[in-house]
Amino acid sequence: MLWAGGRRRAALLGLLVALLVLALARGAPRPAVAEPLAAQGVELNVFAAASLTDAFNELGGVFESQQPGVRVVFNYGPSSGLRTQIEQGAPADVFASADEAQMRLAQQNGVIAGEPRVFARNELVLITPHDNPGGIATLADLARPGLRLVTTGPQVPIGAYTRQLLQTLSADPAYGADFAERVLANVRSEENDVRAVVAKVALGEADGGIVYSSDVTPRVASEVRQIAIPPEVNIIATYPIAVVRGARQPELAERWIALVLSDTGQQALARWGFRPVN
Amino acid sequence: MVGPEGMRVVAVPREGAAEWTRPGWPRPGLTLLLAYSAVLLLFLLVPLGAVLWRALSAGDLGRYLTSPIVVDALRLSLLTTLLTLVVAVVLGTPIAYLLARYQFPGRALIDTALDLPMVLPPAVAGVALLLTFGRRGLLGPTLSAFGIEISFTTAAVVLAQLFVAAPFYVKAAQAGFAAVDRELEHVSASLGVSALGTFWRVTLPLALPALLGGAVMTWARALGEFGATILFAGNFQGRTQTMPLAIYVAMERDLGAALVLASILVVASFLVLLGFKLLARARLAPVA
Amino acid sequence: MLEVAIRKRLREFQLAAAFSAGNELVVFFGPSGAGKTVTLRCIAGLLRPDAGYIALAGQAVFDAAHGIDVPVQRRRVGYVPQHYGLFPHLTVAENVAYGLRGVPRAEARARVAAMLARLELTGLERRRPRELSGGQQQRVALARALVTRPQVLLLDEPLSALDAGLRARLRRDLLQVHRQIRIPTVLVSHDLAEAYMLGERIVVFDRGQVLQVGSREEVWYRPASARVARLVGATNVLPADVAPEGPDGLVTLRTPRFALHARAPAGPLPPRVEVVVRPEAIRVERAEAPGAPSNRLPARIVDEIATGAYYTLYCQVEPAQPAAPPDLEVLVPAPHYVALDLAHTRACALVIPPEAIHLLPAA
């Protein structure tokens, strides 16, 4: 019968299940970057805005060589989404946001330790697919009816900045008071984060989108065409970084922030298209 | 069996009904069984309960229920999943019948290929659809020539749902058709009924429970579809923002709305599935 | 009128079946896998022969040479498969009315009611097949097939799913139905008694070959070959040399262990023949009692099987050789067995009437 010696077998089975559950419980989400087998040791969890993907990945390598035995694990996404995750208890040590609004919200909700510091700036640029199916030459063309534009939701920094820019332009009689309205009417989708916007434009699915100038990385540059936004109207994005309250590695978090603010960090950010803070 | 007039109907025990061999409940082995079952059951039910609990205690339910984001998402989800279901049934039934009844070269390949959308990550499905129907996809230029652009439209939502959910129906229908005794179809033919007539009057009614089960699974899968939708159809309130997308977005903006949406989804799904179960039990009694 | 002459390549052998029948009850008889059901389904149109000809009521429904293959829907056959094939999702009335789609409602209702009455199914109209007994299911299947007024009725092992008592009753029902509705009826059976009881004509199948077509008496008493003989229970098949005809019109047949006299058949006899004697045709008498000297063989019972109403005796003609296989198989009614006290008296005399001997050319 199945239960012969049953008590013992059942207990063994239960133990196996428990072990299995425990074994799966460790291990935070891994970043998309392929890694060699990580050394046993400490993990630093960095939640960063999507636009920081390339720059932070590079700095992660630097940090790991500086701090042997430490592995930096990144979680990239829309700053608003990351904030929500942290507020719901996700294990973050550092939060790097693409705008101050999200950082302020995080502070209001009590998940930030200490004072945030601005570590990078960025500016916006208009991109179209390299073959420019929408025939967009200037910012004003964005209001042309029938275009397929993409952006993010207003809570994501790039979405907020974009709407801010559109409002600024609407104040200019050359564009017209309903400019923002007309452009937003052309928006076909609110993507998850700025990198998704870049992807949709690069794929040719959208006629155009407004992203950070740093997002036009070498990899992307061949697939898109950039249209500069006049500096007098362009939005300067401000990126704050802070230690998360209740971080498991507060010291390492501080060291990471120090690296980002150091010359090494600033040079790396500059190389990836960010504006320096100083 | 029912005998001649006056004979008592003898109850036939339902298949699988356990019979307690001793008075007193539960039996020793059963306790352990129930304990093990409870683990998974609780794991599935407690989170659902948590959603409903938080949603109800968040208050202001009325405001959320009538807010545009919720109404739009609900309407869109219902509309698209219904369309997906109809298309899946109409297009999938012939394939299911073909696979169930006929042997032909490449049958095993097609059979396996139909399994793929069910096991692939939805994101892969989204990319695949983009590469096919996107503006620069395989069919993109042809479609554009006719003035048809699919991505970012409600049609794209239906396509995304169809891609991931239709195989559920096809597989269930295939099994249902295969289970119908072919001799019954032969008898029908011998009585002068055409092939189509036989399908309509014999095969389909007998396969109906399986077909309905497949339809419900398809609808459920379509309702929960997220990855392919967001990649291919995009995210736009009222046009492509289905319930799952709305919940995801709301999590970042307004947790209350997210909870309400999630609760509606849980309750609606539960009611539909329950309704189906009751209907199936009442009208589609198992046939010999 | 039913005419069949077909060939079909099957997995294990080549099927070749040819026969014709009028408004009679024809039984396809033979062991399982002999091709009976395949032939039946070819007539129905559910299987396609490789070559040949099938005609129903004078019309060709299959003719390989002229490319004719009428689809099953248009052949107007009444087909009842094994296990009856009742539609489980329809009531009895709906089952029976199934083939009457094109018929006006009132007429269809009347025909269904009449057929149900004829088969004693009145009162069961609203029942589902799973609520019916085996006998009722069979009659519903028959009603359904017959209500469409088919040209031929085809039944595949209609009685094999039933227990003994029910079978006897349903055999009678079938015969009665056939007498009322005189159309060619083909019935597949592997049961010898059933075939004899039902078959006005019997077509004997074995390994894809039609070995004999004839009335039941012909097949039973005058099997066409040793194979048929064994299939129809004429288990005594003995090789014999023929001695020249004697003065009394009897020929002498010398088997290895004894000699028999039989009536000389018309026409010349080959020098070697096979002697066929049915077990029930052999009379058992007391060993010492006087009797007709002709074909009276002293014998010893070496084995027996009791089946209640009959005893099957395995005998060796004297001088008995214990180690050798028995010479003759004899079927004896139980009362006779008891009267002769054969349980204790193993010695007896076997008398084979000359008219019970059937001769076949030597294999």
Q: Which two three-digit tokens encode residue B13?
A: 């025990």
Domain that holds residue B158: 62-284
Q: Which two tokens stand for residue A24?
A: 């799966």
d(CA C72, nearest CA chain B) in Å: 6
pLDDT value at residue C362: 82
Here the tokens at position C359 are: 């001769």
Residue C147's closest chain B neighbor by CA? B191
Per the structure block, which two tokens stand in for B110? 């097609």
| CB nearest B1 (choices: C72, C75, C131) | C131
Taking residues C142-159, what's their average pLDDT?
92
Cβ-proximal residues to C359 (8 Å cutoff; 6+ apart), any chain: C253, C262, C265, C269, C273, C274, C275, C276
Q: Look at residue C305 in the predicted model and tell me its pLDDT.
A: 94
Can you list the positions of beta strands (E) in C287-326? Answer: 296-306, 310-317
Residue of C128, C120, C132 whose CA lies nearest to C176: C120
* Cβ-contact A123, A197 below 8 angstroms: no
Q: What is the mean pLDDT of residues C283-306?
A: 85
Query: From the candidates C41, C69, C73, C101, which should be mutated to test the interface with B, based on the most B CB atoms within 10 A?
Result: C73
- Determine whether the interchain pair B135/A205 forms a contact, defined as Cβ–Cβ distance below 8 Å: yes
Number of cross-chain residue pairs from B and C with Cβ atoms under 8 Å apart: 69
Q: Would residue B54 count as lying in a domain?
A: no
Cβ within 8 Å, pair A200-B234: yes
Q: Is residue B34 part of a domain?
A: no
Cβ separation A84–B252 shorter than 8 A: yes
Q: What is the pLDDT of residues A95-107, one digit of tens each?
A: 999 999 999 999 9
Among C26, C25, C8, smallest CA distance to C17 is for C8
Would you place residue C164 in the very low, low, confident or very high pLDDT band (cuts 50, 70, 90)? confident
B254 and A CB contact within 8 Å: no
Q: Which residue of C has its CA nearest to B184?
A: C85
Residue C217 C-alpha, separation from nearest chain B C-alpha, in angstroms: 33
CB A206 within 8 A of CB A150: yes
C339 with C327: CB under 8 angstroms?
A: no
CA atoms within 13 A on the CB side of C215: 3
Rounded to whole angstroms, how far apart are CA atoms B230 and A188? 12
Residue among C79, C82, C102 whose CB faces B190 most closely: C79
Q: Which of A78, A188, A205 is nearest residue B130 as measured by Cβ atoms?
A: A205
Q: What number of CA atoms fall less than 13 Å from residue C129's CA on the CB side?
A: 20
- Does B35 touch chain A if contact means CB atoms closer than 8 Å? no
**B287 has a chain C CB within 8 A of its CB:** yes
Q: What pLDDT, on a 0 to 100 scale, did the predictor assign at position A33?
A: 45
The pLDDT score that the predictor gives to residue B36 is 87
Comparing C-alpha atoms, which of A74, A119, A65, A115 is closest to residue A92? A74
* CA distances for B53 relative to A184, B56, B59, angstroms: 37, 5, 11
Q: Which of A188, A192, A203 sits opposite B130 (nearest CB)?
A: A203
**C126 inside 8 A of chain B by CB:** no
Chains in contact with A, counting 3 or more C-beta pairs less than 8 Å apart as contact: B
- For tokens 């973050």, the residue is A92
CA–CA dist A84, A111 (Å, integer): 10
Residue B176: C-alpha distances to residues B151, B240, C220 (Å): 35, 34, 48
**Whether the predicted pLDDT of A26 surpasses 60:** no
Most confidently modeled of A157-171, B63-77, C256-270?
A: A157-171
Torsion of CA B196, B201, B203, B207, to 10 degrees: 130
Asked if B189's CB is within 8 angstroms of C89's CB, the reply is: no
Q: Residue written as tokens 């991931």?
A: B164
Nearest CA in chain B to C86: B184
Q: Which of B109, A105, B70, C132 is nearest to C141 (CA)?
A: C132
In a domain, B184, yes or no: yes
pLDDT of residue C292: 67
Give the CATH number for residue B171: 1.10.3720.10
Q: Which residues of B touch C73 (CB under 8 A)?
A: 189-190, 192-194
Element containing residue C100 per DSSP (H, E): none
B6 CB neighbours in chain C (<8 A) are none
CA distance C135 to C299: 46
Among the listed ranges A85-89, A225-229, A240-244, C144-148, which one has the minimum average pLDDT value? A85-89
- Find how far residue C255's CA is from the centre of its chain: 29
**pLDDT attached to residue A37:** 42
Instruction: Give the tokens for residue C10.
Output: 């099957």
Q: How many CB pairs under 8 A join A and B?
A: 58
C101 and B192 within 8 Å at the Cβ level: the answer is: yes
CB contact under 8 A, A189 and B152: yes
Whether residue B243 is contained in a domain is answered as yes
Q: What is the pLDDT of residues A174-204, one digit of tens each?
A: 999 999 999 999 999 999 999 999 999 999 9
Beta strand extents in A9-63 (DSSP E only): 42-49
Alpha-carbon distances, residue A49 vs A74, A81, A94, A170, A275 (angstroms): 10, 9, 11, 28, 16
Q: Which chains touch B (3 or more CB pairs under 8 A)?
A: A, C
Pairing verdict, β A112-129 and A224-227: antiparallel
Centre a 10 Å sphere on the Cβ of residue C31 and count the other Cβ atoms it contains: 11
Which residue is it, tokens 């429970």?
Answer: B209
The pLDDT score that the predictor gives to residue A209 is 96
Smallest CA-to-CA distance from A239 within A175, A158, A153 is with A158
d(CA C100, CA C103): 5
Q: Which residue carries 């150091």 as its tokens? A: A262
In a domain, B270, yes or no: yes
B136–A contact, CB cutoff 8 A:
yes
Question: Hey, which residues 123-182 in chain B have their CB within 8 Å of chain C?
Answer: 181
Whole-number pLDDT of residue A212: 94
- Picking from A92, A52, A94, the residue whose alpha carbon sits closest to that of residue A268 is A52
pLDDT per position as a tens digit, C111-132: 999 999 988 899 999 999 999 9
Where helices occur in A35-156 by DSSP H, the ranges are 53-66, 79-87, 100-108
What is the rounded distance in angstroms from the CA atom of residue B176 to the CA atom of residue B93? 11
Enumerate residue ranges in chain B where pLDDT < 50.
1-7, 9-10, 13, 16-17, 20, 287-288
Q: Is B48 inside a domain boundary? A: no
Asked if residues C337 and C345 have their Cβ atoms less than 8 Å apart, the reply is no
B154 touches chain A (CB under 8 A): no
Distance CA C124, CA C166 (A): 19
Does the CB of B189 have a partner CB in chain C at under 8 Å?
yes
C-beta atoms of C85 and B202 within 8 A: no
* Residue C289 to chain B, least CA–CA distance (Å): 57
Closest residue to B191, CB basis, from C71, C99, C133 = C99
Per the CB < 8 Å rule, is C85 touching B2? no
pLDDT of residue B272: 81
Interface membership of B194 toward C (CB under 8 Å) = yes
Query: Quick count: other Cβ atoms within 10 Å of Cβ C173?
Result: 16
Cα distance between residue C175 and residue A169, in whole Å: 99
If one counts the domains in chain B, the total is 1
The rounded radius of gyration (Å) of the Cα atoms in chain C is: 25
Task: Identify whether B32 is part of a domain.
Answer: no
Residue of B nearest to A148 (CA): B152
At which residue do the structure tokens 């049953």 appear?
A6
Query: For residue A233, which amino acid is it?
Result: V
Q: From residue A275, how far is each of A55, A86, A193, A268, C138 by CA, in Å? A: 12, 27, 20, 11, 90
Nearest to A203 among B134, B233, B253 (CB): B134
Q: Rounded to 5 degrees, what angle do the CA atoms A118, A120, A123 make?
A: 125
Cβ-defined contact of B192 to C76 (cutoff 8 Å)? yes
| Tens-place pLDDT, residues B43-86 | 989 988 988 888 888 666 777 778 888 889 989 999 999 999 99
Per-residue pLDDT for A31 more than 80? no
Q: How far apart are the first and last CA of chain C?
A: 35
In a domain, B252, yes or no: yes
**Contact C88/B1, CB-based, under 8 Å?**
no
Cβ–Cβ contact A3 with B under 8 A: yes
Which residue of A lies nearest to B151 if distances are taken between CA atoms? A205
* Contact call for B249 and A78, based on CB within 8 A: no
Nearest 5°: phi and psi at B196? -65, -40
Are A209 and A156 a contacting pair, CB within 8 Å? no
Tell if the pTM clears 0.90, that is, is over it.
no
Instruction: Return the percentage of chain C with pLDDT > 90, whole number.
Output: 59
- Residue C252, helix vs strand vs coil: strand
Number of other residues whose CB lies within 10 A of the CB of residue C53: 18
Test C77 with B181 for CB contact under 8 angstroms.
no
> Would you call A150 an interface residue with chain B, using a CB distance cutoff of 8 Å?
yes
Report the DSSP beta bridge partners of residue A128: A225
Q: What is the pLDDT of residues C133-150, one digit of tens each?
A: 888 998 999 999 999 999
Question: What's the ipTM?
Answer: 0.85
Contact B190 C72 (CB under 8 A): yes
SS3 B63: helix
CA C60 to CA A163: how far, in whole Å?
Answer: 83
Residue A32, pLDDT above cutoff 60: no
Tell me which chain B residues have a C-beta less than 8 angstroms from the C-beta of A81. Answer: 251-252
Interface touch B186/C81, C-beta < 8 Å: yes
Which residue in this structure is represented by tokens 């690296």? A259
Angstrom distance (rounded) from CA C277 to CA C283: 11
Q: Is the CB of B151 inside 8 Å of chain A's CB atoms?
A: yes
Please report the DSSP string for B150-219 in residue order.
-TTSHHHHHHHHHHHHHHHHHHHHHHHHHTS-HHHHHHHHHTT--HHHHIIIIIHHHHHHHHHHHHHHHH
Structure tokens at A243: 């230690």
At A23 the pLDDT is 46
The dihedral built from the CA positions of residue C78, C80, C81 and C86, taken in this order, carries a sign that is positive
In this structure, the number of other CB atoms found within 10 A of the CB of residue A63 comes to 23
Q: Does B193 reach chain C within 8 Å, measured CB to CB?
A: yes
- pLDDT value of residue C287: 83
Instruction: Give the confidence band of A14 by pLDDT, cuts at 50, 70, 90.
Output: low
pLDDT at residue number A20: 55
Q: Residue written as tokens 């009457």?
A: C100
Beta bridge partners of C141: none
pLDDT at position A10 is 59
Q: Which residues of A touch B230 (CB under 8 A)?
A: 191-192
Distance CA B55, CA B285 (A): 38
